Structure 1
Amino acid sequence: MSDAAPPAGQASAPRTSDRKVALAQVLRQRILTMELAPGAVLDEQALSEEFGLSRPPVRELMRQMAAEGYIELEANRAARVASMNYQSLRNFFLAAPLLYTATTKLAALDATPAEIGNLKAIQAQFRNAVNRGDVDSRVYYNDQFHLAIGKMAHNPYLLPSLNRLLIDHARLAKTFYQPNNRHMQDDLAAAVQQHDEIIEAIERRDADAAVEIVRAHLDLSRRNMAMYVTPEGLDIPLEV
């Protein structure tokens, strides 16, 4: 597929690299918002046609996204969206407190004023999405909020694990951010307030307070997520 410049007077078609970036963004969004369900087969041919790409760049992108944890690749099988089974959920609930408290504590110690300003901007978008009732944007900006804190920790060992954790957190949160009773609505309002409190603790360099707030924040959201994903009578440990 050629990326040569078009004749004068004709509009330039998107380059292969741009179309590949667009496909990556759309696939990640469809997976995180559960438009593509866990375990769903990805139609390589359909994606190639939708984004005007040949098969090789689509396959290359599939390998990249498999390495990131979005997709599962197996020999002689079509690519599938990463599954969410009992073991993966158990691992999530065990790892989340470790990673979120570690990154939040380090962010409180090392964040720059510019990074804190960026976190406030993300929180404003999150609050607006909650107020509008925009579920997909709620999920997206919550993901961006915790990712921004992970980056503020300035620790290359923690960030890859946080990135992987956030994939499943976003998919689980799709339920939390669609409250179906007053209790869940109150919890969602509390989660917005806790985001503000986390920012305030980071801004005043109070690492202990930041950790306590993020623990309460996790406890709030995981109660609702566990209630949705855990069959009655199945005990998934929520504490390490």
Structure 2
Amino acid sequence: MSAALPIAPRALYEEVAELLRQRIFRRELEPGSWIDELKLAEEYGISRTPLREALKVLAAEGLVTMKVRRGAYVTEVSDKDLSDVYHLLSLLESDAAAVVAERADPGQLAELEGLHAELEAAARPGQVDRDQFFAVNERFHMKLLALADNRWRDQMVADLRKVMKLNRHNSLLKSGRIEESLAEHRALMAALKARDAQRAARQMRLHFDNGLEAAA
């Protein structure tokens, strides 16, 4: 029997990739900024090899751009990039919404209703918890995708949403957008509960159309 292959190096660069991913999402590493490999390797107490492997992972996700003889940079999202990402997310998630409307059982719809209730709570007039709304909103979308049960779509959406997070002007930051987004979620939930696949898909497309307009 051949000896088992070591897994520690892979686990290390994946861990480093996740640390860097979160720093990018928190804007500790700003879009367009150069990534100082030597400084990061010293900070994490690792060699540059796992760090470079981690950067390759992030480059494959679109979060990092590798420039010849210049190193790695946090990706800057252009208006066209943002439009393209929203367009694809609209196609993929509207299809998922139609599937859920047709196939979800009452218990699964109740899970979505529970998340929607959390959205309502986070957006109470005069008590809006923006960070909580952001977090629950993403959980709602991920749960809907999980219920639609297509792992290939899930992977594409996960990668596209990572790029969407690079946008400096998140759509939910626009004044009044949280209230609009909540109304769109209400309409989507009504379509899902009515088992109206076409209306559910249409509401999801509208949700992304409005989100892009607010993010631009």
Mark yes or no: TM-score above 0.5: yes
Q: 2:82 aligns with which of 80, 83, 89?
A: 89
Q: How does 1:1-240 map to 2 (within 5 A)?
A: 23-111=16-104, 116=109, 118-120=111-113, 122-123=115-116, 126-127=119-120, 129-130=122-123, 133-172=128-167, 174-179=169-174, 184-185=175-176, 187-226=177-216
| 1:73 alignment partner, SS class | strand
For residues 158 and 36 of structure 2, what CA distance do their matches in structure 1 show? 25
Deviations 1:174-233 (A, max 9, x none): 533223xxxx32x3113123324434533553322311221232232222112xxxxxxx
Structure number with higher relative contact order (C-alpha < 8 Å, ≥ 6 residues apart): 2
Aligned residues: 207
Unaligned ranges ≥5, structure 2: 1-7
Contact 2:61 2:162 in 1 (8 A): no
Change (3 A) 1:157 1:20: closer
Change (3 A) 1:18 1:96: closer
Amino acid aligned to 1:165: L
Change (3 A) 1:173 1:41: closer
Deviations 1:17-41 (A, max 9, x none): 8775654444223323444322222
Change (3 A) 1:41 1:114: farther
Contact 1:33 1:139 in 2 (8 A): no
Contact 2:62 2:163 in 1 (8 A): no
Tell me how far 1:118 sits from its aligned partner.
4.9
Of stretches 86-95 and 213-222 in structure 1, the one that deviates more from structure 2 is: 86-95
The share of aligned pairs that are identical, in percent, is 27
Contact 1:33 1:174 in 2 (8 A): no
| 2:152 alignment partner, SS class | coil
TM-score (norm 2): 0.74
| 1:157 alignment partner, SS class | helix
For residues 133 and 12 of structure 2, what CA distance do their matches in structure 1 show? 26
RMSD value over aligned CA atoms? Answer: 3.3
Tell me how far 1:161 sits from its aligned partner.
2.2
For residues 193 and 101 of structure 1, what CA distance do their matches in structure 2 show? 17
For residues 163 and 217 of structure 1, what CA distance do their matches in structure 2 show? 18
Unaligned ranges ≥5, structure 1: 1-14, 227-240
Of stretches 109-118 and 138-147 in structure 1, the one that deviates more from structure 2 is: 109-118
Deviations 1:119-168 (A, max 9, x none): 45554555555456554554344333323322322223322321222123
